[in-house]
């Protein structure tokens, strides 16, 4: 699927509406039939485009939540099998996760889905 680009559909609708109004004024001021016909076609095209924007399907999006792993060294230990248990707590939902021998941490919290990049709104 191609990348989705989020735009302000209301702003685009208003822009097309202004263009439709401008084309209508152009038609009203037309001095000859050919100009009147071209202005009418332009007006119809802008109206059609504005209606398509207004009726375009929407998609559901969720705002990206950011968090970071807070390491709780006091909980870490090595079990009898030699497995090292490193614990990290999600800064957003406070889930404490045992990473065991994992050398890389999750990029997203497995509980709340926060992106663990320590972004602007990390908890």
Which positions touch Zn ion (CB under 5 A)?
A: 90, 92-93, 95, 109, 111-112, 114
Name the minimum Å distance from CB 69 to Zn ion: 10
The three state secondary structure string of 69-117 is EEECHHHCEECCCCCEECEEEECCCCCEEECCCCCCCCCECCCCCCECC
Q: Minimum CB separation from Zn ion for residue 113, in Å? A: 7
Nearest CB to Zn ion, comparing residues 42 and 95: 95
Residue 38 or 65 with smaller CB distance to Zn ion: 65
Q: Nearer Cβ to Zn ion, position 27 or 65?
A: 65
Which stretch of DSSP H or E encloses residue 90?
strand 87-90
C-alpha separations of 47 from 8, 15, 33, 56, 99 in Å = 18, 11, 21, 14, 57
DSSP, collapsed to helix, strand or coil, labels residue 24 as: helix
In angstroms, what is the minimal distance from the CB of 110 to Zn ion? 8
Nearer to Zn ion, 39 or 116 (CB): 116
* Minimum gap (Å) between residue 61 Cβ and Zn ion: 19
Contact 83, 104 (CB under 8 A): no
């Amino acid at each position: 699927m191609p990348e989705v680009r989020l735009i302000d559909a209301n702003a685009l609708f208003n822009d097309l509406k202004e263009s439709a109004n401008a084309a209508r004024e152009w038609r009203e001021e037309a001095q000859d039939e050919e100009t009147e016909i071209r202005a009418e076609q332009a007006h119809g095209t802008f109206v059609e485009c504005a209606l398509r924007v207004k009726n375009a399907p929407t998609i559901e999006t969720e705002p990206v939540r950011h968090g970071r792993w807070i390491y709780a060294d006091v909980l870490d230990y090595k079990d009898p099998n030699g497995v090292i248990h490193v614990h990290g707590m999600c800064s957003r939902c406070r889930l404490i996760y045992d990473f065991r021998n994992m050398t890389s941490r999750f990029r997203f919290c497995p509980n709340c889905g926060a992106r663990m990049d320590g972004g602007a709104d990390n908890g």
